[in-house]
Every structure is written in structure tokens, then in C-alpha cells.
Amino acid sequence: MWLIAITFLAVLSTILWYVSKNSSHYKLDTLALISWGTSIMVFADHLMSYIEEGEFFDFSTNAILLTAILLLFALFLWMLSLLIRDPLSKFKRSPT
């Protein structure tokens, strides 16, 4: 379940980064990198699970909860990087 959701986020963020004129303002490249890195890691985890147990996708309650946590954490990291970099200079003090 997490592989499907995080890969969907990766594809969506990559498309938005590619077609958006203001992608540098919102650091969509960072969101794309976070989600692609996570999807590669999750794919490796699912592949090892398939080799050991014979099950590739898991649709249990725990898997759905873990999917929500992973997506929220990826979005949290992206927002944290936006706050730290402040690409639109919203938090900088202006001279008075």
C-alpha cells in the first residue's frame, strides 16, 4: 500500500515541478526528491518481503496507517525545508 501511495506522490510532485513556472518558489524539486527516495526504499523493502514471504502488497490496517504516516512525514519534511529556506522571503525582517 505504501509503495503505491508514495510513488503516486513522487510522480505527481515531479509532474508539478516540471510544468510549474514557480516550482523554485515552492521547492517542488525537494518534494520530488524526498518522495522518489522514499519510493525506491519502499520498493526494496517490498521486494525483500516478496522474496522472503511471497507477498508484495499488504492492505492491512497497519499498512494503511503506515502509509498515512509516511505521506504526512514526507509532506512535513517538505514544509520544514520551505520554512528553513524561505524562498519567498516571508520571514525576513525588512529594514525599518
20: left (phi over 0), alpha (psi -120 to 50) or beta: beta
Kindly state the cell numbers that stand for 41: 526504499
Range 51-61 average pLDDT: 83
* 28 lies in some domain: yes
For residue range 62-88, what is the model confidence (pLDDT) as tens digits? 988 988 998 999 899 989 988 888 776
* 15 lies in some domain: yes
In which domain, by residue range, is 41 found? Answer: 2-85
* 32 lies in some domain: yes
Tell me what pLDDT residue 72 has: 93
Structural domain count of the chain = 1
pLDDT of residue 15 exceeding 90, the answer is: yes
Integer Cα distance of 45 and 64 in angstroms: 16
Tell me what pLDDT residue 93 has: 66
* 94 lies in some domain: no
